[in-house]
Amino acid sequence: MTQKYEGMWEELGLDIPAHEALLKVLGQFYGDIYLSQEGRLKGAEYLDFVLSEVHGLRIQELLEAKSRGQKVVGTFCIFVPEEIILAAGGICVGLCAGAEIGFDKAEAVLPRTTCALIKSFMGFKLARLCPFFESCDLVVGETTCDGKKKAYEVLAEHAPVYVMEVPQMKEARDRALWRDEVVRFKDRIEELSGVTVTAERLSVAIRQVNDRRRALQRLNTLRKSVPVPISGRDVLLVNQIAFYDDPGRFTQKIGELCDELESRIARAEGIAPAGAPRLMLSGCPMAVPNWKIPYVVESAGAVLVGEESCIGTRSTRELVAEDGTTMDGMIDRLVDRYFRIDCACFTPNTERLQHIVEMAKDLQVDGVIHYALQFCTPYAMEAFKVEKALEKEGIPMLRIETDYGNEDAQILKNRVEAFVEMIG
């Protein structure tokens, strides 16, 4: 792939030697964590292909779309209403990053005590290693946690940045502010693209994004089966790819994967033995290629059956109501759907506790692993409430705080193994 796309990467201004080294490490990492799994599905070939071409073919597609006049918009948070970008003929790509890359450069402009996700996206940008970033006509930030909102001020010195104000509470006045923000965002996207977002265009986009969510909901429902037919690692990858790939193609491929899973379930076949402890992850998002915890958990003999996270059910649980007929009506439905997101940046955030308990029961988990990135105050603080809520239901929880490095791999392994042994 390297030679085939080198000209394209050069034009995007990437640091070619460093990028080549990154792809090499990523390939090895992927081989160890993904390709080594036994009994993988045929549908996983799609995941392997997308990942192998994530900086190649997909970027080529984005650049071709740009040459036809479409705009590429990068985002960091599931609060950004993708439907509006699509309705303006644009393409939305997730820019959160899950690798310890460019941290020396990031730490020159941000405190060391910043969460790894923020340092990673800043590092990828400053080290010129992300072709998605370099393809963007606009990057959209949001006022969720303090680290992110201050980091966007720095990022704005290096890229065209637009910030949406996300409220901190969920009162009527907060909803009114959020509605204004969604309309302001629509205006900005119209200005960027030169395309007016009409009710017809928005209605098509709402259905398209909902279809992708429905495909992921179907996949998550199939994981209730005992034995579980697909590994947590593979589902995490599916959720990660959802932020990069073309929505129509993704929905079709995940539909095919689900068909295959249904046949596997009918034959009572699983990816892990029926007695393997079933665990659920809860907490911070895991952006590509952050596969550390799922790998540790599944190597310890457990199987992951759910992810209560933004790269998981937090972004797929809710659909936008499709019964809006006017522009105002559709905006209201978008506003309501996004306003229900239970991010730990909100206070209070009791819905999240209810969702976690419901999910844990529904998936018949034996335990929950709460995952917070180091220096992520919202999720690390909320972990205590999550633990209490689960304790009331008799569901054990292991609290983990970590980063993208491998220094704590052995400690994590020991802790997860002890947890799995305890619940098993």
Interface ranges with ligand BJ8 (CB under 6 A): 77-79, 115, 117-118, 144-145, 147-148, 284-285, 310, 341, 343, 345, 373, 376, 378-379
Nearer to ligand BJ8, 101 or 271 (CB): 101
Nearer to ligand BJ8, 247 or 378 (CB): 378
Nearer to ligand BJ8, 46 or 133 (CB): 133
The least distance separating ligand BJ8 from the CB of residue 319, rounded to whole angstroms, comes to 17
Nearer to ligand BJ8, 66 or 175 (CB): 175
Decide if 356 contacts 257 (C-beta within 8 A).
no
Nearer to ligand BJ8, 94 or 270 (CB): 94
Rounded Cα distance, 81 and 332, in Å? 12
The least distance separating ligand BJ8 from the CB of residue 285, rounded to whole angstroms, comes to 5
Cα–Cα distances in angstroms (integers) from residue 380 to residues 92, 123, 170, 328, 384, in the given order: 29, 23, 21, 38, 8
Cα–Cα distances in angstroms (integers) from residue 392 to residues 370, 396, 411, in the given order: 16, 10, 28
The least distance separating ligand BJ8 from the CB of residue 372, rounded to whole angstroms, comes to 7
The least distance separating ligand BJ8 from the CB of residue 298, rounded to whole angstroms, comes to 22
Nearer to ligand BJ8, 211 or 342 (CB): 342
The least distance separating ligand BJ8 from the CB of residue 386, rounded to whole angstroms, comes to 14
Nearer to ligand BJ8, 66 or 179 (CB): 179
The least distance separating ligand BJ8 from the CB of residue 224, rounded to whole angstroms, comes to 24
Residue type, 172: A
Rounded Cα distance, 359 and 350, in Å? 14
The least distance separating ligand BJ8 from the CB of residue 345, rounded to whole angstroms, comes to 5
Decide if 276 contacts 302 (C-beta within 8 A).
yes
The least distance separating ligand BJ8 from the CB of residue 198, rounded to whole angstroms, comes to 28
For 209, the token pair is: 């994004």
Residue type, 193: S
Nearer to ligand BJ8, 228 or 293 (CB): 293
The least distance separating ligand BJ8 from the CB of residue 259, rounded to whole angstroms, comes to 30
Nearer to ligand BJ8, 77 or 230 (CB): 77
The least distance separating ligand BJ8 from the CB of residue 48, rounded to whole angstroms, comes to 26
Nearer to ligand BJ8, 145 or 155 (CB): 145
Nearer to ligand BJ8, 150 or 224 (CB): 150
Cα–Cα distances in angstroms (integers) from residue 16 to residues 57, 100, 112, 120, 130, in the given order: 17, 18, 27, 18, 11
The least distance separating ligand BJ8 from the CB of residue 118, rounded to whole angstroms, comes to 5
